[in-house]
Amino acid sequence: MRLLVTRPEPDATREVETLMALGHDPVRAPLLEIEFLEDVPLNLDGAQAIVITSRNALRALGTHPERDKAVALPIFAVGEATAWAARQLGFTEVTIGPGTGAGLHPIICQEVHPSHGPLVHIGAEKVAFDLRGALESDGIDLRRVVLYRSHPVETLSEDVVDGLKSGDIEGALLLSPRTARAFARLVQRYGLVTEVKGLVCYCLSNAIAEAVVPLGVEACVPQFAREEDLITLLESGA
């Protein structure tokens, strides 16, 4: 199957390799560009744990001058892939969530006590789920530290446009709501809404699937918000 890979680099390359190994024909089309920010303090004083909801946050942390101080703390990782990257960075006390910020929220509530200090959420300027607001309602203080921004791309390559027009591209993998919204916006901008009606969007979560509703395409969502489950869903032909 010819599939659109929409993740930013370097995750796009890893996903392309996975899909090729399974016999698919992936088309690389990152829909977000990542801008890492410098000279941002982590504000770790008194913190009881770190919260990470993306691997890009760990990439940014990897070159931060306060990295060693951060990795000495426990970490709540949004999912298994992020947890693996956290361990590679040096974190040793890792609690793993189910793959979404909303799913991580009750786990944090079970594991932390508000009197033990705030949590520090290292991540992007814009987030898919308001974890800070959710935890504040439970009396837990969450400090947000922004180490990167993601910018939607403004164009599609000629190869991608032609593949969508012809129906040669049969599916698209969408792993974040912002990516899905960027995809929907570009499809509409290029006047391809009719042409993509036969496209299947493989979406990591229901929130992502909702972002492509305006396109009228089929959206498939795995039971759990894990990348390996999304690939399994793709392989099942669902």
Please give the model's pTM, rounded to 2 decimal places.
Answer: 0.83
The answer to whether domain 2-31+153-236 and domain 34-150 are alike in fold is: yes
Q: Both tokens of residue 108?
A: 């944090």
Instruction: Note the pLDDT of residue 41.
Output: 97
Q: Both tokens of residue 118?
A: 């705030």
Would you call 8 helix, strand, or coil by DSSP?
coil
**Nearest one of 176, 172, 177 to 195, comparing CA atoms:** 172
Instruction: Note the pLDDT of residue 238.
Output: 55
Q: CB-hemisphere CA count at 13 Å for 191? A: 0
The domain segmentation of the chain, as residue ranges, is: 2-31+153-236, 34-150
Q: How many residues does the chain have?
A: 238
Q: How does pLDDT run along the chain (238 residues), one tens digit per residue?
A: 999 999 998 889 989 999 999 999 999 999 999 999 999 999 999 999 999 999 999 999 999 999 999 999 999 999 998 999 999 999 999 999 998 899 999 999 999 999 999 999 999 998 888 999 999 989 999 999 999 999 999 999 999 999 999 999 999 999 999 999 999 999 999 999 999 999 999 999 999 999 999 999 999 999 888 888 899 999 987 5
Q: Tell me the CATH number for domain 34-150.
A: 3.40.50.10090
- CB contact set of 91 (below 8 Å; sequence gap of 6+): 50, 71, 73, 74, 75
Q: Both tokens of residue 96?
A: 């793993």
Q: How far is CA 94 from CA 58, 123, 133, 163, in A?
A: 13, 17, 23, 42
Q: Tell me the CATH number for domain 2-31+153-236.
A: 3.40.50.10090
Instruction: Note the pLDDT of residue 10.
Output: 85
- Judged by phi (left if over 0) then psi (alpha if -120 to 50, else beta), residue 111 lies in alpha
Instruction: Note the pLDDT of residue 199.
Output: 96
